[in-house]
Amino acid sequence: MKMMTNRNMVSVSTIKSRFVKHCALLLPVVIIGCNPIQNATSKNKDNPPNILFIAVDDLRPELGCYGKPQILSPNIDKLAAQGFLFENAYCNIPVCGASRASILTGLRPNPNRFLAHNSYIDKDAPGVETLPELFKNNGYITLSMGKVLHNWEDDALQSWTEAPWNPKLLVSGSAGRKRLNYQRAENTNRRPPYERADVADSAYHDGKLTNKVIKKLGLLAEGEKPFFMAVGFVKPHLPFNAPAKYWDLYDSKALQFPEFMKYPENAPEESHHNSSELRTYDGIPSKGPITDEMARTLIHGYYACTSYIDAQIGLIVNELETLKLKENTIIVLWGDHGWSLGEHGLWCKHSTYNVAMKAPLIVYVPSKKGGHKVSGLVEFVDMYPSLVELSGLQKPSHLQGKSFTHLLDNPNRMGKDAVYGRWKNSDFMRTDGFSYTEWFSENGKSQARMLYNLDRDPNETSNLAELPEHQQYVKRLSMALKEIRKIE
Protein backbone atom coordinates (compact mmCIF):
# COMPACT_ATOMS: atom_id res chain seq x y z
CA MET A 1 0.00 0.00 0.00
CA LYS A 2 1.34 3.44 -0.93
CA MET A 3 2.39 5.37 2.17
CA MET A 4 1.34 8.99 2.62
CA THR A 5 4.01 11.55 1.79
CA ASN A 6 4.37 15.11 2.97
CA ARG A 7 3.10 16.28 -0.42
CA ASN A 8 -0.19 14.47 0.24
CA MET A 9 -0.62 15.82 3.76
CA VAL A 10 -2.83 18.89 3.70
CA SER A 11 -2.31 21.43 6.47
CA VAL A 12 -5.59 22.40 8.05
CA SER A 13 -4.34 25.87 8.94
CA THR A 14 -3.14 26.43 5.38
CA ILE A 15 -6.47 25.37 3.92
CA LYS A 16 -8.44 27.50 6.36
CA SER A 17 -6.34 30.60 5.77
CA ARG A 18 -6.63 30.28 2.01
CA PHE A 19 -10.39 29.97 2.13
CA VAL A 20 -10.94 32.67 4.74
CA LYS A 21 -8.91 35.02 2.58
CA HIS A 22 -11.44 34.60 -0.22
CA CYS A 23 -14.58 34.47 1.92
CA ALA A 24 -15.96 37.84 2.97
CA LEU A 25 -19.40 38.39 4.51
CA LEU A 26 -22.12 38.76 1.92
CA LEU A 27 -23.11 42.40 1.76
CA PRO A 28 -26.08 43.84 -0.10
CA VAL A 29 -25.04 44.88 -3.58
CA VAL A 30 -26.31 48.16 -5.00
CA ILE A 31 -27.47 47.63 -8.55
CA ILE A 32 -25.86 50.40 -10.56
CA GLY A 33 -27.28 49.47 -13.93
CA CYS A 34 -25.36 49.45 -17.21
CA ASN A 35 -22.38 51.74 -16.96
CA PRO A 36 -21.01 53.14 -20.20
CA ILE A 37 -18.24 50.89 -21.42
CA GLN A 38 -15.71 53.71 -21.17
CA ASN A 39 -16.24 53.70 -17.39
CA ALA A 40 -15.53 49.99 -17.00
CA THR A 41 -12.60 49.06 -14.82
CA SER A 42 -11.29 46.75 -17.52
CA LYS A 43 -7.66 47.08 -18.59
CA ASN A 44 -9.08 45.93 -21.96
CA LYS A 45 -11.57 48.82 -22.06
CA ASP A 46 -10.65 49.72 -25.64
CA ASN A 47 -11.49 46.21 -26.83
CA PRO A 48 -13.12 44.22 -24.01
CA PRO A 49 -13.48 40.49 -24.76
CA ASN A 50 -16.82 38.85 -25.37
CA ILE A 51 -17.70 35.83 -23.24
CA LEU A 52 -19.44 32.70 -24.55
CA PHE A 53 -20.30 30.61 -21.48
CA ILE A 54 -21.51 27.14 -22.54
CA ALA A 55 -23.09 24.78 -20.01
CA VAL A 56 -23.86 21.15 -20.85
CA ASP A 57 -26.14 19.27 -18.47
CA ASP A 58 -24.86 15.95 -17.03
CA LEU A 59 -21.77 15.93 -19.25
CA ARG A 60 -19.01 13.71 -17.92
CA PRO A 61 -15.43 14.00 -19.22
CA GLU A 62 -15.91 10.99 -21.47
CA LEU A 63 -14.88 12.79 -24.64
CA GLY A 64 -12.25 12.26 -27.28
CA CYS A 65 -10.15 15.16 -25.99
CA TYR A 66 -10.15 13.53 -22.54
CA GLY A 67 -8.65 10.37 -23.96
CA LYS A 68 -11.96 8.55 -24.37
CA PRO A 69 -12.18 7.81 -28.11
CA GLN A 70 -15.35 5.76 -27.75
CA ILE A 71 -17.26 9.07 -27.69
CA LEU A 72 -17.39 10.96 -31.00
CA SER A 73 -16.95 14.63 -30.06
CA PRO A 74 -14.94 16.24 -32.89
CA ASN A 75 -16.12 19.80 -32.28
CA ILE A 76 -15.42 19.82 -28.55
CA ASP A 77 -12.10 18.12 -29.30
CA LYS A 78 -11.25 20.91 -31.76
CA LEU A 79 -12.07 23.58 -29.19
CA ALA A 80 -9.89 21.80 -26.62
CA ALA A 81 -7.03 21.68 -29.13
CA GLN A 82 -7.28 25.46 -29.49
CA GLY A 83 -7.68 26.19 -25.80
CA PHE A 84 -6.95 24.74 -22.38
CA LEU A 85 -8.38 21.43 -21.23
CA PHE A 86 -8.60 21.01 -17.45
CA GLU A 87 -8.01 17.37 -16.59
CA ASN A 88 -8.93 17.71 -12.92
CA ALA A 89 -11.85 20.12 -12.68
CA TYR A 90 -14.44 19.40 -9.99
CA CYS A 91 -17.97 20.60 -9.39
CA ASN A 92 -18.83 21.75 -5.89
CA ILE A 93 -22.11 19.84 -5.73
CA PRO A 94 -23.36 17.03 -8.02
CA VAL A 95 -26.82 18.36 -8.89
CA CYS A 96 -27.68 20.86 -11.61
CA GLY A 97 -29.59 23.64 -9.85
CA ALA A 98 -27.20 24.01 -6.94
CA SER A 99 -24.08 23.65 -9.08
CA ARG A 100 -25.19 26.40 -11.47
CA ALA A 101 -26.21 28.74 -8.66
CA SER A 102 -22.81 28.21 -7.05
CA ILE A 103 -20.94 28.89 -10.29
CA LEU A 104 -22.86 32.07 -11.13
CA THR A 105 -22.50 33.53 -7.64
CA GLY A 106 -18.95 32.38 -6.90
CA LEU A 107 -20.23 30.98 -3.59
CA ARG A 108 -19.75 27.46 -2.27
CA PRO A 109 -22.70 25.29 -1.33
CA ASN A 110 -22.88 24.98 2.45
CA PRO A 111 -25.27 23.29 4.89
CA ASN A 112 -27.72 26.18 4.42
CA ARG A 113 -27.25 27.19 0.78
CA PHE A 114 -27.46 25.63 -2.69
CA LEU A 115 -28.53 22.16 -1.60
CA ALA A 116 -30.68 20.70 -4.40
CA HIS A 117 -31.83 20.91 -8.02
CA ASN A 118 -34.42 23.57 -7.13
CA SER A 119 -31.93 25.97 -5.54
CA TYR A 120 -32.61 29.65 -6.17
CA ILE A 121 -30.04 32.44 -6.03
CA ASP A 122 -32.84 34.84 -5.18
CA LYS A 123 -33.63 32.80 -2.05
CA ASP A 124 -30.23 31.48 -0.97
CA ALA A 125 -28.00 34.47 -1.82
CA PRO A 126 -30.20 37.53 -2.35
CA GLY A 127 -28.34 40.69 -3.27
CA VAL A 128 -25.09 39.01 -4.29
CA GLU A 129 -23.58 40.29 -7.54
CA THR A 130 -23.69 37.36 -9.95
CA LEU A 131 -21.17 36.70 -12.71
CA PRO A 132 -23.42 37.99 -15.53
CA GLU A 133 -24.55 40.92 -13.39
CA LEU A 134 -20.95 42.02 -12.93
CA PHE A 135 -20.46 42.06 -16.69
CA LYS A 136 -23.77 43.87 -17.14
CA ASN A 137 -22.66 46.49 -14.64
CA ASN A 138 -19.52 46.97 -16.74
CA GLY A 139 -21.31 47.75 -19.98
CA TYR A 140 -21.86 44.26 -21.39
CA ILE A 141 -25.00 42.91 -23.02
CA THR A 142 -25.80 39.80 -20.94
CA LEU A 143 -27.97 37.00 -22.31
CA SER A 144 -29.28 33.75 -20.85
CA MET A 145 -30.14 31.20 -23.56
CA GLY A 146 -31.49 27.77 -22.67
CA LYS A 147 -30.83 26.01 -19.38
CA VAL A 148 -28.37 28.28 -17.65
CA LEU A 149 -29.94 28.27 -14.20
CA HIS A 150 -32.20 25.31 -13.44
CA ASN A 151 -35.08 27.71 -12.81
CA TRP A 152 -34.95 30.19 -15.67
CA GLU A 153 -36.96 32.82 -13.77
CA ASP A 154 -34.36 32.88 -10.95
CA ASP A 155 -32.21 36.01 -10.89
CA ALA A 156 -33.94 37.07 -14.12
CA LEU A 157 -34.18 40.81 -13.58
CA GLN A 158 -30.81 41.99 -12.31
CA SER A 159 -28.33 39.77 -14.20
CA TRP A 160 -29.59 39.78 -17.77
CA THR A 161 -30.09 42.56 -20.30
CA GLU A 162 -33.06 40.67 -21.70
CA ALA A 163 -35.41 38.17 -20.09
CA PRO A 164 -33.89 34.65 -20.19
CA TRP A 165 -34.93 32.65 -23.27
CA ASN A 166 -35.66 28.93 -23.22
CA PRO A 167 -36.73 26.75 -26.17
CA LYS A 168 -39.44 25.23 -23.96
CA LEU A 169 -41.29 28.51 -24.49
CA LEU A 170 -41.94 27.40 -28.09
CA VAL A 171 -43.54 24.07 -27.14
CA SER A 172 -47.17 23.64 -26.12
CA GLY A 173 -48.36 21.36 -23.33
CA SER A 174 -47.62 20.85 -19.66
CA ALA A 175 -44.33 21.84 -18.10
CA GLY A 176 -43.38 18.20 -17.64
CA ARG A 177 -43.99 17.25 -21.25
CA LYS A 178 -42.17 20.36 -22.48
CA ARG A 179 -39.11 19.28 -20.54
CA LEU A 180 -39.21 15.70 -21.81
CA ASN A 181 -39.54 16.87 -25.43
CA TYR A 182 -40.45 13.53 -27.05
CA GLN A 183 -40.93 13.49 -30.84
CA ARG A 184 -42.33 10.04 -31.57
CA ALA A 185 -46.12 9.76 -31.56
CA GLU A 186 -46.12 6.61 -29.41
CA ASN A 187 -44.44 8.59 -26.62
CA THR A 188 -47.22 11.17 -26.34
CA ASN A 189 -48.49 9.62 -23.11
CA ARG A 190 -45.42 7.60 -22.18
CA ARG A 191 -42.15 8.33 -20.39
CA PRO A 192 -39.37 6.14 -21.80
CA PRO A 193 -35.79 6.90 -20.71
CA TYR A 194 -34.61 7.37 -24.31
CA GLU A 195 -35.88 8.14 -27.80
CA ARG A 196 -34.40 7.61 -31.25
CA ALA A 197 -36.38 9.72 -33.71
CA ASP A 198 -35.76 10.29 -37.42
CA VAL A 199 -36.03 14.06 -37.12
CA ALA A 200 -33.91 17.13 -37.77
CA ASP A 201 -31.67 18.53 -35.04
CA SER A 202 -34.05 21.44 -34.57
CA ALA A 203 -36.94 19.15 -33.59
CA TYR A 204 -35.46 18.85 -30.11
CA HIS A 205 -34.91 21.72 -27.67
CA ASP A 206 -31.16 21.87 -28.08
CA GLY A 207 -31.39 22.23 -31.84
CA LYS A 208 -33.90 25.05 -31.43
CA LEU A 209 -31.53 26.67 -28.96
CA THR A 210 -28.64 26.48 -31.42
CA ASN A 211 -30.68 28.23 -34.13
CA LYS A 212 -31.69 30.98 -31.70
CA VAL A 213 -28.10 31.49 -30.52
CA ILE A 214 -26.83 31.74 -34.09
CA LYS A 215 -29.42 34.41 -34.91
CA LYS A 216 -28.59 36.30 -31.74
CA LEU A 217 -24.87 36.22 -32.53
CA GLY A 218 -25.61 37.84 -35.88
CA LEU A 219 -27.36 40.71 -34.13
CA LEU A 220 -24.59 41.08 -31.57
CA ALA A 221 -21.97 41.22 -34.33
CA GLU A 222 -23.70 44.29 -35.72
CA GLY A 223 -23.58 46.11 -32.38
CA GLU A 224 -20.74 47.90 -30.64
CA LYS A 225 -21.11 46.57 -27.09
CA PRO A 226 -19.32 43.48 -25.79
CA PHE A 227 -21.49 40.55 -24.74
CA PHE A 228 -21.66 37.85 -22.11
CA MET A 229 -23.80 35.06 -23.55
CA ALA A 230 -24.59 32.03 -21.41
CA VAL A 231 -25.84 29.05 -23.43
CA GLY A 232 -27.25 26.02 -21.62
CA PHE A 233 -27.76 22.69 -23.42
CA VAL A 234 -30.06 20.11 -21.81
CA LYS A 235 -28.69 16.90 -23.24
CA PRO A 236 -27.22 14.46 -22.37
CA HIS A 237 -29.68 14.76 -19.46
CA LEU A 238 -32.39 12.09 -19.23
CA PRO A 239 -34.37 11.15 -21.22
CA PHE A 240 -31.71 10.33 -23.79
CA ASN A 241 -33.54 11.77 -26.78
CA ALA A 242 -31.54 12.51 -29.92
CA PRO A 243 -32.02 12.43 -33.70
CA ALA A 244 -31.47 9.01 -35.26
CA LYS A 245 -28.30 10.03 -37.10
CA TYR A 246 -26.47 10.41 -33.79
CA TRP A 247 -27.62 6.99 -32.59
CA ASP A 248 -26.35 5.60 -35.89
CA LEU A 249 -22.82 6.78 -35.12
CA TYR A 250 -22.49 3.89 -32.67
CA ASP A 251 -22.77 0.12 -32.90
CA SER A 252 -24.76 -0.83 -29.80
CA LYS A 253 -23.27 -4.33 -29.68
CA ALA A 254 -19.74 -2.93 -29.63
CA LEU A 255 -20.33 -0.57 -26.70
CA GLN A 256 -18.39 -1.46 -23.56
CA PHE A 257 -19.78 -1.51 -20.05
CA PRO A 258 -17.81 0.41 -17.38
CA GLU A 259 -14.96 -1.54 -15.80
CA PHE A 260 -16.59 -1.51 -12.39
CA MET A 261 -20.38 -1.94 -12.05
CA LYS A 262 -20.72 -3.35 -8.56
CA TYR A 263 -20.87 -1.90 -5.08
CA PRO A 264 -17.32 -1.01 -3.93
CA GLU A 265 -15.56 -3.06 -1.29
CA ASN A 266 -15.99 -1.67 2.25
CA ALA A 267 -17.89 1.39 0.97
CA PRO A 268 -20.26 2.90 3.57
CA GLU A 269 -23.96 2.38 3.00
CA GLU A 270 -24.35 6.16 2.85
CA SER A 271 -22.45 6.26 -0.45
CA HIS A 272 -25.08 4.21 -2.24
CA HIS A 273 -28.33 5.53 -3.69
CA ASN A 274 -31.23 4.12 -5.67
CA SER A 275 -30.58 6.10 -8.87
CA SER A 276 -33.98 7.66 -8.22
CA GLU A 277 -33.87 10.02 -11.20
CA LEU A 278 -33.73 7.05 -13.58
CA ARG A 279 -36.41 5.10 -11.69
CA THR A 280 -39.10 7.58 -12.75
CA TYR A 281 -38.98 6.40 -16.39
CA ASP A 282 -41.01 3.64 -18.04
CA GLY A 283 -39.31 0.27 -18.29
CA ILE A 284 -36.99 0.87 -15.32
CA PRO A 285 -37.64 -1.25 -12.19
CA SER A 286 -38.38 0.69 -9.01
CA LYS A 287 -35.35 -0.86 -7.33
CA GLY A 288 -32.57 -3.34 -7.96
CA PRO A 289 -30.35 -3.75 -11.02
CA ILE A 290 -31.51 -3.05 -14.55
CA THR A 291 -31.05 -5.57 -17.35
CA ASP A 292 -27.88 -5.65 -19.42
CA GLU A 293 -29.98 -4.86 -22.49
CA MET A 294 -31.39 -1.71 -20.92
CA ALA A 295 -27.97 -0.70 -19.57
CA ARG A 296 -26.47 -1.02 -23.04
CA THR A 297 -29.30 1.04 -24.57
CA LEU A 298 -28.87 3.77 -21.95
CA ILE A 299 -25.14 3.97 -22.62
CA HIS A 300 -25.91 4.13 -26.34
CA GLY A 301 -28.43 6.91 -25.72
CA TYR A 302 -26.00 8.91 -23.57
CA TYR A 303 -23.34 8.66 -26.29
CA ALA A 304 -25.83 9.70 -28.99
CA CYS A 305 -26.93 12.72 -26.97
CA THR A 306 -23.33 13.75 -26.34
CA SER A 307 -22.55 13.66 -30.06
CA TYR A 308 -25.75 15.60 -30.76
CA ILE A 309 -24.65 18.37 -28.39
CA ASP A 310 -21.14 18.28 -29.84
CA ALA A 311 -22.65 19.05 -33.25
CA GLN A 312 -24.61 22.00 -31.83
CA ILE A 313 -21.50 23.42 -30.20
CA GLY A 314 -19.69 23.09 -33.51
CA LEU A 315 -22.36 25.10 -35.30
CA ILE A 316 -22.16 27.90 -32.74
CA VAL A 317 -18.36 28.11 -32.72
CA ASN A 318 -18.29 28.03 -36.52
CA GLU A 319 -20.74 30.96 -36.56
CA LEU A 320 -18.43 32.87 -34.22
CA GLU A 321 -15.66 32.38 -36.76
CA THR A 322 -17.86 33.36 -39.72
CA LEU A 323 -18.87 36.57 -37.95
CA LYS A 324 -15.21 37.23 -37.01
CA LEU A 325 -16.17 37.27 -33.33
CA LYS A 326 -14.03 34.36 -32.20
CA GLU A 327 -10.83 36.43 -32.36
CA ASN A 328 -12.13 38.47 -29.41
CA THR A 329 -14.34 35.93 -27.58
CA ILE A 330 -13.39 33.89 -24.54
CA ILE A 331 -15.19 30.54 -24.67
CA VAL A 332 -15.78 28.48 -21.53
CA LEU A 333 -17.31 25.02 -21.96
CA TRP A 334 -18.31 23.11 -18.84
CA GLY A 335 -20.51 20.28 -17.64
CA ASP A 336 -22.38 21.11 -14.43
CA HIS A 337 -21.25 17.81 -12.82
CA GLY A 338 -20.39 14.27 -13.80
CA TRP A 339 -22.74 11.32 -14.34
CA SER A 340 -22.68 7.61 -13.54
CA LEU A 341 -23.34 5.08 -16.30
CA GLY A 342 -23.49 2.05 -14.04
CA GLU A 343 -20.23 2.58 -12.16
CA HIS A 344 -20.52 1.32 -8.55
CA GLY A 345 -23.97 0.02 -9.49
CA LEU A 346 -25.19 3.63 -9.75
CA TRP A 347 -26.83 5.73 -12.44
CA CYS A 348 -27.23 9.52 -12.63
CA LYS A 349 -25.33 11.92 -10.34
CA HIS A 350 -26.06 12.46 -6.60
CA SER A 351 -22.89 10.90 -5.19
CA THR A 352 -19.40 12.02 -4.22
CA TYR A 353 -17.64 9.37 -6.27
CA ASN A 354 -15.14 10.80 -8.74
CA VAL A 355 -17.39 9.95 -11.68
CA ALA A 356 -20.07 12.32 -10.34
CA MET A 357 -17.83 15.10 -8.98
CA LYS A 358 -15.38 15.42 -11.87
CA ALA A 359 -16.60 17.27 -14.94
CA PRO A 360 -15.24 18.71 -18.19
CA LEU A 361 -13.87 22.24 -18.32
CA ILE A 362 -12.38 23.76 -21.48
CA VAL A 363 -11.30 27.40 -21.73
CA TYR A 364 -10.44 29.13 -24.99
CA VAL A 365 -8.73 32.53 -24.70
CA PRO A 366 -7.88 34.14 -28.07
CA SER A 367 -4.96 36.10 -26.60
CA LYS A 368 -3.26 32.97 -25.22
CA LYS A 369 -1.65 30.12 -27.10
CA GLY A 370 -3.80 27.08 -26.45
CA GLY A 371 -3.54 23.40 -27.13
CA HIS A 372 -2.53 22.60 -23.54
CA LYS A 373 -3.78 20.19 -20.91
CA VAL A 374 -3.87 21.50 -17.36
CA SER A 375 -3.47 18.79 -14.72
CA GLY A 376 -3.69 21.03 -11.64
CA LEU A 377 -6.74 20.82 -9.39
CA VAL A 378 -9.43 23.46 -9.94
CA GLU A 379 -13.06 23.69 -8.86
CA PHE A 380 -16.08 25.30 -10.42
CA VAL A 381 -16.32 28.08 -7.87
CA ASP A 382 -13.07 29.29 -9.48
CA MET A 383 -14.73 30.13 -12.80
CA TYR A 384 -16.17 33.45 -11.64
CA PRO A 385 -12.88 35.03 -10.46
CA SER A 386 -11.02 33.60 -13.46
CA LEU A 387 -13.36 35.15 -16.03
CA VAL A 388 -13.35 38.48 -14.23
CA GLU A 389 -9.54 38.49 -14.18
CA LEU A 390 -9.29 37.48 -17.85
CA SER A 391 -11.57 40.40 -18.71
CA GLY A 392 -9.62 42.85 -16.59
CA LEU A 393 -12.57 43.71 -14.34
CA GLN A 394 -12.67 44.31 -10.59
CA LYS A 395 -13.41 41.20 -8.56
CA PRO A 396 -16.16 41.56 -5.94
CA SER A 397 -15.22 40.80 -2.36
CA HIS A 398 -17.66 37.94 -1.79
CA LEU A 399 -15.96 35.40 -4.09
CA GLN A 400 -14.93 32.13 -2.46
CA GLY A 401 -13.00 30.66 -5.37
CA LYS A 402 -9.55 31.47 -6.68
CA SER A 403 -8.60 32.45 -10.21
CA PHE A 404 -6.89 29.76 -12.26
CA THR A 405 -5.51 32.18 -14.88
CA HIS A 406 -1.94 31.45 -13.75
CA LEU A 407 -2.45 27.93 -15.10
CA LEU A 408 -3.21 29.36 -18.53
CA ASP A 409 0.13 31.18 -18.51
CA ASN A 410 1.92 28.06 -17.31
CA PRO A 411 -0.15 24.86 -17.62
CA ASN A 412 2.52 22.86 -15.78
CA ARG A 413 2.12 24.84 -12.55
CA MET A 414 0.46 23.30 -9.54
CA GLY A 415 -3.24 23.85 -9.04
CA LYS A 416 -4.93 23.91 -5.65
CA ASP A 417 -3.79 21.71 -2.78
CA ALA A 418 -7.36 20.51 -2.48
CA VAL A 419 -10.85 21.08 -3.89
CA TYR A 420 -14.12 20.62 -2.05
CA GLY A 421 -17.68 19.56 -2.68
CA ARG A 422 -20.73 18.33 -0.86
CA TRP A 423 -23.88 16.33 -1.34
CA LYS A 424 -26.65 16.33 1.25
CA ASN A 425 -25.00 15.47 4.58
CA SER A 426 -21.62 14.51 3.10
CA ASP A 427 -18.56 16.62 2.39
CA PHE A 428 -16.02 15.76 -0.29
CA MET A 429 -12.35 16.59 -0.68
CA ARG A 430 -9.97 15.82 -3.53
CA THR A 431 -6.25 16.16 -2.86
CA ASP A 432 -3.21 15.24 -4.91
CA GLY A 433 -3.93 11.59 -5.57
CA PHE A 434 -6.76 10.92 -3.11
CA SER A 435 -10.48 11.47 -2.76
CA TYR A 436 -12.14 11.62 0.64
CA THR A 437 -15.79 11.84 1.72
CA GLU A 438 -17.19 12.09 5.22
CA TRP A 439 -20.84 11.99 6.27
CA PHE A 440 -21.96 14.17 9.19
CA SER A 441 -25.06 14.19 11.36
CA GLU A 442 -27.05 17.41 11.91
CA ASN A 443 -25.02 18.18 15.02
CA GLY A 444 -21.75 17.71 13.12
CA LYS A 445 -20.87 14.23 14.35
CA SER A 446 -19.01 11.99 11.89
CA GLN A 447 -21.14 9.06 10.68
CA ALA A 448 -19.16 7.41 7.88
CA ARG A 449 -16.18 8.03 5.62
CA MET A 450 -14.38 6.74 2.57
CA LEU A 451 -10.90 7.30 1.16
CA TYR A 452 -9.59 6.24 -2.25
CA ASN A 453 -6.10 6.26 -3.72
CA LEU A 454 -6.85 7.52 -7.23
CA ASP A 455 -3.36 6.73 -8.50
CA ARG A 456 -3.67 3.04 -7.65
CA ASP A 457 -7.45 2.71 -7.66
CA PRO A 458 -8.89 5.20 -10.20
CA ASN A 459 -12.26 3.41 -10.25
CA GLU A 460 -12.60 3.83 -6.47
CA THR A 461 -13.18 0.19 -5.68
CA SER A 462 -11.48 -0.26 -2.30
CA ASN A 463 -12.24 2.07 0.62
CA LEU A 464 -9.09 2.74 2.67
CA ALA A 465 -10.61 5.00 5.31
CA GLU A 466 -10.64 2.47 8.15
CA LEU A 467 -7.22 0.91 7.57
CA PRO A 468 -4.76 1.62 10.43
CA GLU A 469 -1.98 2.90 8.16
CA HIS A 470 -4.20 5.73 6.88
CA GLN A 471 -5.64 7.04 10.14
CA GLN A 472 -3.31 10.02 10.49
CA TYR A 473 -4.11 11.20 6.96
CA VAL A 474 -7.84 10.63 7.45
CA LYS A 475 -7.71 12.68 10.64
CA ARG A 476 -6.11 15.60 8.79
CA LEU A 477 -8.68 15.46 5.99
CA SER A 478 -11.56 15.22 8.46
CA MET A 479 -10.35 18.30 10.32
CA ALA A 480 -10.04 20.20 7.03
CA LEU A 481 -13.62 19.36 6.06
CA LYS A 482 -14.92 20.48 9.43
CA GLU A 483 -13.23 23.85 8.95
CA ILE A 484 -14.71 24.20 5.47
CA ARG A 485 -18.19 23.49 6.87
CA LYS A 486 -17.84 26.53 9.13
CA ILE A 487 -17.26 28.98 6.25
CA GLU A 488 -20.44 30.83 5.36
Assess whether 350 carries a catalytic annotation. no
**How many other C-beta atoms can be found within 10 angstroms of the C-beta atom of residue 6?**
5
Q: Is residue 29 part of a domain?
A: no
Q: What is the average pLDDT across 332-355?
A: 97
- pLDDT for residue 153: 78
What's the pTM? 0.90
Q: State the pLDDT at residue 175.
A: 82
Q: Is 150 a catalytic residue?
A: yes
472 lies in some domain: no
Mean pLDDT calculated for residue range 165-174: 87
Closest CA to 372 of 13, 87, 48: 87
From the candidates 22, 65, 91, 96, give the one annotated as an active-site residue: 96
CATH number of the structural domain spanning residue 65? 3.40.720.10
- Is 60 exceeded by the pLDDT of residue 4? no
Task: Give the closest residue to 307 by CA, choosing from 249, 356, 254.
Answer: 249
pLDDT at 7: 33
Return the pLDDT at 157.
Answer: 74
Residue 18 has pLDDT above 70, yes or no: no
Q: Which residues in 386-413 are b (16+ Cβ under 10 Å) and which e?
A: bbbbbbebebbebbbbbbbbebbeebee
Structural domain harbouring 129: 47-413
The pLDDT tens digits of the residues spanning 178-197 come to 889 999 999 999 999 999 99
Number of folded domains that form the chain: 1
Q: Identify the band that residue 383 occupies on the pLDDT scale cut at 50, 70 and 90.
A: very high
Looking at residue 413, what is its pLDDT?
93
Query: Which pLDDT tens digit goes with each residue over 384-428?
Result: 999 999 999 999 999 999 999 999 999 999 999 999 999 999 999
What are the distances in angstroms from CA 353 to CA 170, 288, 292?
Answer: 37, 20, 22
Would residue 40 count as lying in a domain? no
Give 300 or 38, the one with higher predicted confidence: 300
Q: Please, what is the angle between helix 205-222 and helix 292-322, to 10°?
A: 10
- For 231-244, what is the mean pLDDT? 98
Q: How confident is the model at residue 341 (pLDDT cuts 50, 70, 90)?
A: very high
Q: How confident is the model at residue 35 (pLDDT cuts 50, 70, 90)?
A: very low
Neighbours of 367 (CB within 10 A): 11
Q: Is the pLDDT of residue 376 over 50?
A: yes
pLDDT the model gives residue 486: 80
Choosing from 22, 150, 337, 372, the catalytic residue is: 150
Average pLDDT over the chain, rounded to an integer: 90
- The pLDDT score that the predictor gives to residue 442 is 84
262-308 pLDDT, tens per residue?
A: 888 899 999 999 999 999 999 999 999 999 999 999 999 999 999 99
pLDDT value of residue 8: 36
Name which of 83-87, 175-179, 324-328 the model is least confident about.
Answer: 175-179
Question: What does the pLDDT average to over 337-364?
Answer: 97
Among 7-21, 130-144, 157-171, 436-450, the minimum mean pLDDT is found in 7-21
In a domain, 470, yes or no: no
Edge to edge, the sheet with strand 84-86 lists 141-146, 227-233, 50-56, 329-335, 361-364, 84-86, 372-374
Which amino acid, residue 355?
V
- The answer to whether residue 318 sits within a structural domain is yes
What residues pair up with 54 in beta bridges, in sequence order? Answer: 231, 333
Whole-angstrom Cα distance, residue 30 to residue 107? 18
CA–CA dist 349, 343 (Å, integer): 11
Give tens-digit pLDDT for 82-134. 999 999 999 999 999 999 999 999 999 998 899 989 899 999 999 999 999 99
What pLDDT sits at residue 172? 81
The answer as to whether 7 is a domain residue is: no
Average pLDDT over residues 18-39: 32
Tell me, yes or no, whether 421 lies in a domain: no
Q: Give pLDDT, residue 31.
A: 28
Which pLDDT belongs to residue 484? Answer: 87
Does residue 27 sit within a domain? Answer: no
